Structures are given as C-alpha cells and as structure tokens.
Structure 1
Amino acid sequence: MTSSTKPQMTDHQTVPHVFTQYNGEQLDLTFSNAEFERRLTRVRELLSTHNLDAFVLTSMHNIKYFSDFVPSPFGRTFAVVITPEGSTTVTPWVDGGMPWRTTYGDNIVYSDWEKKNFFRAIDRVLEQQSIKPSRLGIEFDGLKVEEYRSFQGWFENVELVDMAEPIMRQRLLKSDEEVYLIRQGARIADIGGRAIKNAIREGITEYELAFIGTEAIVPEIAKVYPSKELRETFCLVQSDINTDGAHNWPTTRQLQKGDLLSVNCFPMMSGHYTAMERTMTLGQPDQATLDLWKINVEAYQLGLELIKPGAIAQDIAAKINRFFEKQDLLKYAPIGYGHSFGVMSPYYGREAAMEFREDIETELQPGMVISMEPMLTIPNNMPGAGAYREHDILSITEDGVENFTEFEVGPEHNIIG
C-alpha cells in the first residue's frame, strides 16, 4: 500500500469519481495498532448486538477515534466505514493522499465532479466486502438534515439506525494510551499557563498574552508527538467584561490594574482537547471580587473531594449546586461542573453522557478522564462583575483519582503584581 495508484475511471473514461490514492508512505499514528484494534473490536460488538451490516460514521470525532485521521470538512462529507472485516476512511480528492497516510485501515477517495460520488465510494467499500446492507449504523447527530435525506435517498431500502450514543458511551472509558496522551496535554497546558502568567503586566493586550501561551505549548506538543499534525491549539486570555463567557476570544484590550483575568490554555493533542483554566487578577482585587473568587475556589475544592470511583455525576452536581444556593449564587452558575475528555475540540466531539449536571446519571468508573471546573458569571452591574473559573483534569483509577493539573489555584497564588 505504499506505491501510487492511478485513479480508477468510470465509464466516461475522462473524469475520476471513486479511486484509491496511496500517495507516499504511511506515517506513524498517535496510538499503537493494538489500540486501534481494541477500539474496532469493541465497536464491532455493537454491529452484532444491533444486527447491523456496517457502520457509516460521519462525525469528525468518530472518524478520528477509529482511524486517527482528522477531517477538514469545508462543506464536504467524510466517513469511516466499519464492517466486520475492515475499516476504511472515505475522503474527498481535494485532500490528496494525506488521509491515507494518516489512516489506520484503508482509504478511498471521491471527487467533486458528481454529487453522488461520496455514496459511490461507500458502495465501493461495501461491494468489495460482498456486503448488501439491510441495516446500517449511522450518527443522526453527525448529519445535517439535508445530508440525512441524501442517506435516505441513496440507501432507499436500507434501515438507518442511530448509533451515536452507544458509540459515545464506549468512548467514555479510556485506554492506558489515551490516558497517557491526556496526561501529556495537562502537563503542556500548565506550561502555557506559566508562560502567560509570567508575561502579565499593565498595557499588554489579551491577544498578545494568548499568543505567548500558544507559542509555549506548540513546541512541547511537537516533542511528544513529532510525526503528528499541529492544529487547533489555542489559548484564551480574557479581562474585565470579556471574562463573562467561557469561550470569549482574546481582544486588543490592554490590561489595567485591578483587572479580573481568566487564563485558559487548550493544547490539542492529535485531535484530543486538553485544558487548564485559572482565575487571576492584575493587582489587588476589590473585596467583592476577592470574596467571589474564594467562593468559586471552595466549590472547585468541594468537587475535587466528591470525585471518586462509584460516585454518580448527578449527585456531585447536586452537592455543588446546594453549596452555591447557600451563597445565593446558583443563579450565576451557567454550566455543569465538568465533563469527559477525549476526541473533541471547539468544532467537534462531546461525550455528553459524562457531565456534572443533575440530569446525568452516569457512574464514575476507572478509565474515565474528567474535569472539575465550576464557573460563576456575575453581571456587569454588580460588585465583583466578571467570571471565575478553575479547571483541572482528573483520571479515575482503580485506586481513586489522579489530578493531572498542577497549576496553583486561588488568590494566594494568582494575584499578579
């Protein structure tokens, strides 16, 4: 599979529609072959238990999870087709041979020259394995309405079965290799946070600080995974009113004495989101800001104490909610108190079955990797206005919990200047 092959032509003999493009040499993957086989073996158990002929998975996170290839859609559809005997990524010609070079399993390419070529490629994969499907597993949440209608039209006599949640629940439990990757991401996030903290001063802008953090992070990722793409890593540094949203992007605002700051570092480790977030201030904060900051740190510490194997997500959320209620602050807590980690980014992926909310019944189990990140957002017309966030990454083990985040927390450490 290392030599180039010519595109296979259709009857027109002029325009290629579906073909293989084994261009160059395959690259080292993020995980071992044994790890990808472990994932494929587990998901194939779902083929059997749900009486499915194959999966056609179109979400970026599942394509990455099962093949190691991260799509760049630009309005095009990608897939990984998983059958009892094989797995194949389906990618547009515009990406050349790169998808094949970074795919565990096989790859097939389709051109833009006819709208139906994506489905022709899927048919080719199934035909090569003598599969005439009657039931296909797909992801309803990974398809736009028009894309779903196209699936229905093409697979006219095939039952399309939504398998997004069962597959997501499998992803909740991480292997040792996944845990290692996330641990490295947490370590590198601390490096970015340290670089930002050391550069905080009056007059510097939010975006300059964010650049400083990113420039500290990316070379560290390259050291750990030298053969992988370096993409999507970012930092957010927010000040004053710009702290009020967890994902507000940096601006050209210059920092001033007394500012409430939110420092957030997000190393993207081969498609895996990792994070560290800390509240800081530039100079001594006013009393209201200090009091609110300390309360949010208390909630964070309470959450760390509650996380253990066998704990239930909704019970942890309820106890933190009751803590904020006693402070008359629950109305300012906009999100749940943490989530699962894995294949995700700002643009794809979410293991929604493991979030700290009162409607989530998931039990914490060894192999899960989660965050604890309480957040308070105080409106701009009130004392202490702005948002307060502390964020750690924790691994649930057979023996208890390991906190991967080592960055110091709270006013004792993060009042700058």
Structure 2
Amino acid sequence: MLEKMLAGVSRCSGVSERARGVVAATAAAWQRCSRCVSSNDVDTFRDTATMRMPNGVKQSPGLFSAEEVEGRVNRLRHHMEQEGLAACLFTSIHNVNYYTGGFTYCAFGRPYGLLVTPEKHVTISALIDGGQPWRRSPQDNIIYTDWKKDNYFRAVTEELGTTKGKVGVEEDHLSVEGWAKLQHHLQGATLTDVSQAVMRMRMIKSKEEIAVLKNSTATADLGAWACVDALGEGVPEYEVALAGTQAMVRRISELYPDSELMDIWVWFQSGINTDGAHNPVTTRRIQKGDIISCNTFPMIAGYYTSLERTFFLDHCSDAHLKVWEGNIAVHKRGLELIRPGAKCSEIAHELNELYAQLGLLKYRMFGYGHSFGAMCHYYGREADLELREDIDTVLQPNMVVSMEPMVTVPEGQPGAGGYRELTILVIHDDGSVENITGFPVGPNHNIFKK
C-alpha cells in the first residue's frame, strides 16, 4: 500500500520534498495502525481515539499550485515567528480552506481543524469523512473517532505533543465551549486570537486567486443567462433557479475537472420575495410585470463569487422604473469610487448622500459591497473589507470587491420590491480597476419580453 501511495504522490505536480516525506510517514503510520483500526475486539475498537487513513492517493493541487499554497503557509509562519506563536489551530471553514488550498469540510456538528506549527501542517477530521480530508490536504491529516467525548481535542493534543507557549486560534469562530476545552486539554499553552491578522492576509489576493475569481465571475454570468432562458410567465422560481445552478455546475466541471462540486446555487426571487437579499427560492410562479432578483453563486472549492441583477418580466411600471434607475445611478457612482487609496467608510458616506438626493436612502438595506475569496453564506467573511460607514479600511491593489447597492420599497407602495445590482471589481498593481462582471445592468437590457 505504501508503494502505491508514494507513486500517487509522485504523479501530483508541484509537491515538495517535505510534503512527500510527510506522506511517506503518514502512509507508514497507517500501515502500523491498520490492524488496530480494523480490530473486531470491542474494547480495542472503542478505545481507538485517533488514526490515519491515507486512502487512495493525494489529489492534484486543484485550483491552486503547490507553490501558491506553500506561499500562504510561509507568510503565516512568518507572522507566527514575529508574534511568538508556537502553533496556530484554525477551526473555521474559510481558514482551513485557505491554508490547505481547497479542503472544504462539512461539519454536521463535528469540529474540524488545521494545525500549523513551524514543522507541521496537519488537518484534523472526523472518521465519517474517511480518507477524503487526507486526499485534499497538501500534507498530513489525523482522524478522530466520535464514540468518546472530546476525541477531537485529544487529536489536537497528540499532534502538538510537548509544544508549549502561545497557540493562535480564531476567537470569531471558536465557541465558548471549544475555547474552554482547548484550555483544558492544552496544558501549558496560552490561547491568543489570530483571526483578524489572517483575515487581513486573505484580503490581498494573489494572481492565482484573481484568475480563479475571474473564472468564477464568468460562471456566474453564464448562470444568469441560463436563468433568462428559463424565465417565463407561470414558471416557478425554483425551476429558473435549477436551470442556473445546472449551467454553473457543468461549467465548473469543465474549468476544474479535479474539483469538488458543492454549494453552487441560485436565489431567484420574484415579487414580494425580492425584499430581502438572502430570501430563499420558493414555489411562487412568475407573472408579467413582476420585479425579479436574479442571484447566481458559483462556489469553486470554497471560493465564492456572485452576480445579482434586477429583472422585470414583460414590462416595468413607471414607479418601478424610477426606483430602479435611482439604484442604478448609485451603482454606477459606486463603481467610479472604487480605486486604490479610497476608504471604505468614505465610499459609503458619499453614496448615502446620493441615495438621499434621490429620496431612496430610507429604503437602503445593507453595506455597499464586500470582498470575495474563501467565503460563503454558510461561513466566513472578510469583515474588514466591507463598504460600510464603520469600516475604515483603505482599498489597495490586489483587493477584489463588489459594488452592490440595494433598496427595498415595502409592499403596497408604488414601485414595491427589492432592487439589487452586484458587480465585481479587481484593483490591479498599476492602480487600474477592472470590472470582471459581464452581465449587463438596467432597463435597457433586463426587461425580458416572453
């Protein structure tokens, strides 16, 4: 088995010698413990707290090169050295994803993690997932069994060994219970927050990340066009959403044939269902004259982008048109304001003034935009890169942000409904700003007669 696993690793391009050594050690450990794991002795089986399961061969790096992932980890280790951290234990989906280059765990009530020390890089997963976490981890993986309380924390302790000192954790993700259990099990360690520091690292995108986000944004455009094709009088929201989702799944499978397909979805809302940005798809049937919000979300190995556009079927009333054009005016001005050196809060303040002049500020729903990358509606967010009044982050090259103003006019008033336009922009090293969203905006394009 060991020979097969090492041969599989050798076929993966860009795998470092250190990673090959880790895989060899892991495979040998699996050989040593395999008899124990497969034991039919009840006591032996029950007392197994941790194990290795390097099942199959390592997957190819997927979206990112081995050098890209190693660079992220090296920057983290540099930060650890500067801050005197002996280790970092990441528990959130977004940071586990970011520092592995694509492993996106599915918790279902079980804790997961990634432990990074100056020497180790090991994911911590539940046995229910078998060997998949190992296959998607660039280096090591340890599995814990869940038929004895706190085996997850035993796995962390086992991997840390005699390590003492400061251990970085994510205060914005770790529960009070998890914090207490870590403190109990990690005798001699001091827990300290690293969530804000690593979030700031993630806010600056590499060339490889920007390439993935461009492909994802183009996929979102494609999903929206599929929704347009499926749109029609009497068609339920869910049928249109299904068409968009299918188109994006198929496109992602073509772009990244080694990727895992999960959490790719469409929110296609009509009528009163447009009043909230995250309202679920329903069985409501679309009627002529309806205001529609088309929202497509391709997720590629945990990397998220989106497209959001206001549509109308067949016609748009004068009252709706007035609100729609007002929101588009704010959207266009927002696109002009995104540039290096601009402060998030100042962008928000200026757009507030424009909304007020248009009489629409009282209908505003949320911030004007946000960052993209390793994030999702189920998990993380780069909160320091939100275009809001309470965020003073200065925009820099290699940030990827959206402009997405939204207003909702309550039901029963002229122009009732939610209006939202989301466009994604990349700030480049030379100071230029690239609009990477291709789907058109506004009434000249998005009133569909069918």
CA distance in 2, matches of 1:239, 1:352: 29
The answer on whether the counterparts of 1:8 and 1:18 sit within 8 Å (CA) in structure 2 is: no
CA distance in 1, matches of 2:56, 2:116: 24
Cα distance per residue 1:151-187 (max 9 Å; x no partner): 1222243211011100100000011111010000000
Cα deviation for residue 9 of structure 1 reads 5.0
Question: What TM-score, normalized by structure 1, do the two folds share?
Answer: 0.96
Specify the alignment match of 1:19 in structure 2.
51
Question: Gaps spanning 5+ residues in structure 1: where?
Answer: none
Query: Given residue 196 of structure 2, which amino acid in structure 1 is its aligned partner?
Result: E
Q: Does 1:180 align with 2:211?
A: yes
The one of 228, 234, 241 equivalent to 1:210 is: 241
Specify the alignment match of 1:275 in structure 2.
306
Cα deviation for residue 330 of structure 1 reads 1.2
Specify the alignment match of 2:70 in structure 1.
37
CA distance in 2, matches of 1:336, 1:7: 53
* Matched position secondary structure for 1:289: helix
Question: Gaps spanning 5+ residues in structure 2: where?
Answer: 6-26, 38-42
Query: Given residue 388 of structure 1, which amino acid in structure 2 is its aligned partner?
Result: Y
Specify the alignment match of 2:392 in structure 1.
361
The answer on whether the counterparts of 1:7 and 1:18 sit within 8 Å (CA) in structure 2 is: no
Cα deviation for residue 142 of structure 1 reads 1.3
The answer on whether the counterparts of 1:186 and 1:276 sit within 8 Å (CA) in structure 2 is: yes
The answer on whether the counterparts of 1:9 and 1:18 sit within 8 Å (CA) in structure 2 is: no
CA distance in 2, matches of 1:113, 1:320: 54
Q: Does 1:47 align with 2:59?
A: no
Cα deviation for residue 292 of structure 1 reads 0.3
Specify the alignment match of 1:241 in structure 2.
272
The one of 196, 203, 206 equivalent to 1:165 is: 196
Q: Does 1:410 align with 2:442?
A: yes
Specify the alignment match of 1:58 in structure 2.
91
CA distance in 1, matches of 2:152, 2:45: 18
The answer on whether the counterparts of 1:53 and 1:135 sit within 8 Å (CA) in structure 2 is: yes
Cα deviation for residue 107 of structure 1 reads 0.5
Matches within 5 A, 1:376-391: 376-391=407-422
Question: What TM-score, normalized by structure 2, do the two folds share?
Answer: 0.90
More divergent stretch after superposition (253-262 vs 132-141): 132-141
Specify the alignment match of 2:375 in structure 1.
344
Cα deviation for residue 113 of structure 1 reads 2.2
Cα deviation for residue 328 of structure 1 reads 2.4
Q: Does 1:124 align with 2:158?
A: yes
The CA RMSD measured in Å over matched residues stands at 1.5
Query: Given residue 109 of structure 1, which amino acid in structure 2 is its aligned partner?
Result: I
Specify the alignment match of 1:259 in structure 2.
290
Specify the alignment match of 1:97 in structure 2.
131
Q: Does 1:300 align with 2:334?
A: no
What is the number of equivalent residue pairs in this alignment?
414
Cα distance per residue 1:235-278 (max 9 Å; x no partner): 11110000001011111111111100000100001101110110
Cα distance per residue 1:388-411 (max 9 Å; x no partner): 000111111023111110101000
CA distance in 2, matches of 1:60, 1:139: 11
Cα deviation for residue 33 of structure 1 reads 0.7
* Matched position secondary structure for 2:407: strand
Cα distance per residue 1:79-106 (max 9 Å; x no partner): 0000012210000111100000011121
Cα deviation for residue 8 of structure 1 reads 8.0
The one of 100, 108, 115 equivalent to 1:74 is: 108
* Matched position secondary structure for 2:44: coil
CA distance in 1, matches of 2:116, 2:277: 36
Higher helix share: 2
CA distance in 2, matches of 1:413, 1:185: 22
CA distance in 1, matches of 2:150, 2:283: 46
Query: Given residue 80 of structure 1, which amino acid in structure 2 is its aligned partner?
Result: L
CA distance in 2, matches of 1:160, 1:323: 46
The answer on whether the counterparts of 1:8 and 1:19 sit within 8 Å (CA) in structure 2 is: no
CA distance in 2, matches of 1:164, 1:344: 14
CA distance in 2, matches of 1:280, 1:365: 33
The answer on whether the counterparts of 2:154 and 2:185 sit within 8 Å (CA) in structure 1 is: no
More divergent stretch after superposition (142-151 vs 331-340): 142-151
Cα deviation for residue 17 of structure 1 reads 1.2
Q: Does 1:143 align with 2:177?
A: no
Query: Given residue 89 of structure 1, which amino acid in structure 2 is its aligned partner?
Result: T
Provide the identity percentage.
44
Cα distance per residue 1:18-61 (max 9 Å; x no partner): 11111101111221110011100111122112211100110010
The answer on whether the counterparts of 1:26 and 1:100 sit within 8 Å (CA) in structure 2 is: yes
The answer on whether the counterparts of 1:8 and 1:20 sit within 8 Å (CA) in structure 2 is: no
More divergent stretch after superposition (166-175 vs 378-387): 378-387
CA distance in 2, matches of 1:305, 1:14: 63
CA distance in 2, matches of 1:7, 1:318: 62
The answer on whether the counterparts of 2:371 and 2:399 sit within 8 Å (CA) in structure 1 is: yes
Query: Given residue 446 of structure 2, which amino acid in structure 1 is its aligned partner?
Result: N
* Matched position secondary structure for 1:56: strand
Cα distance per residue 1:320-377 (max 9 Å; x no partner): 1110111222121111000000101110110000010011111111111111100001
The answer on whether the counterparts of 2:153 and 2:181 sit within 8 Å (CA) in structure 1 is: no
Specify the alignment match of 2:226 in structure 1.
195
* Matched position secondary structure for 2:437: coil
